Amino acid sequence: MTNDQMDLSHVSEKFHEIVHLPNEHRAGFINNHRWIAYPTAKRVIDELNALVSYPRQTRMPSMLIIGKPNNGKSSILEKFEELNPPSDENSAEDDLIIPVMKVEASRADAKFLYIEILSKLWAPFLPTQTLAVLRYQAVNIMRDKKLKVLMIDEFHSLISGTRAQQQEVLREIRYLSNTLHLSIVGAGTSSAVNVTKHDAQYTSRFTTIELPTWSLNQDYLRLLLSFEQGLPLRKPSNLATPEKAKAILSKSEGVLGNIHAIIKRSAIEAIRSGSESITMEIINKQPWQILRGN
């Protein structure tokens, strides 16, 4: 069958050219990160957009996004950051406006939080500087950049330290929010709720949105269809059929990142084997034990 005769109705039209590339190029394309929109993610993005447009005031609304590891939290933050890129004022680097910024919290350490912020802003600093100096520098730069939303990934890591360390980090976060009129968005596992629950001031500021694991429903079947339309395979895989949909859901335990990993690995195997379609045999080969807990 020639390229012109090939039925590619199972692939999104924008990827038709990819289907005709050599195997190694198609495998590389599959491994590239791509955003898949789904109802819960769209809702969270809408909530985040509302924070950007919210009138600036001392007590800003904030948000916690919680869910199992590898269930799409970081991808949502990254997508939101991408949707709100820095804007260039007067064509000068110093005039860049940064409305949204994502940093990662790996431990309950106030000084480390400011180091993460300054690193993300490409600001020169000395790690040996005091907390006060780092705070002063970070606050001034964030004010100049007119930051509106500070997103802190791995927010649950803030409970890893002592009670005193936790309180110090929370005080700094509240200080940033109050001083700069920032909305804070934390993303982490369900234990992230424990970061704020001991202080009524934090609990009242944070709205919690949970990213549930997937179940066998229409949203899940539409998700599988979206994934399949992005795969440069030369034959349809029909991932939404009952047998395949149930097998993928069982292996992934309903975790989005695992679902995506199973489909990517299966698609690459379909290319390498020459089947050009994700079969039940290929799905059953996938080592779900490796994917768990990622």
Q: Which of 13-27, 198-212, 219-233 has the lowest mean pLDDT?
A: 198-212
Using CA atoms in the order 214, 217, 222, 227, what is the torsion angle rounded to 10 degrees?
A: 40
Which pTM does this prediction carry?
0.89
CA separation (Å) from 174 to 25, 44, 50, 58, 206?
48, 22, 20, 10, 11
Is the pLDDT at 59 greater than 80, yes or no?
Answer: yes
Write the pLDDT tens digit of every residue in 108-117.
899 999 999 9
In this predicted model, which residue has the larger pLDDT, 284 or 91? Answer: 284
- Give the chain's domains with CATH numbers: 3-32+214-291 (no CATH), 39-211 (3.40.50.300)
Measured between alpha carbons, how far is 282 from 219 in angstroms, rounded to an integer? 24
Of 189, 169, 176, nearest to 65 by C-alpha is: 189
What value, to the nearest 5°, has the Cα angle with vertex 92 and ends 88 and 94?
A: 90
Q: Read off the amino acid at residue 264.
A: K
Measured between alpha carbons, how far is 283 from 292 in angstroms, rounded to an integer? 16
Task: Note the pLDDT of residue 37.
Answer: 86
Of 62, 75, 69, nearest to 188 by C-alpha is: 69
Confidence of residue 149 (pLDDT cuts 50, 70, 90): very high
Helix (H, G, I), strand (E, B) or coil at 67: strand
Residue 167: both structure tokens together: 């309180």
In this predicted model, which residue has the larger pLDDT, 50 or 160? Answer: 50
Confidence of residue 291 (pLDDT cuts 50, 70, 90): very low
Mean pLDDT of 273-286: 95
Is the pLDDT at 90 greater than 70, yes or no?
Answer: no
The fraction of the chain above a pLDDT of 90, given in percent, is 76
Task: Note the pLDDT of residue 88.
Answer: 78
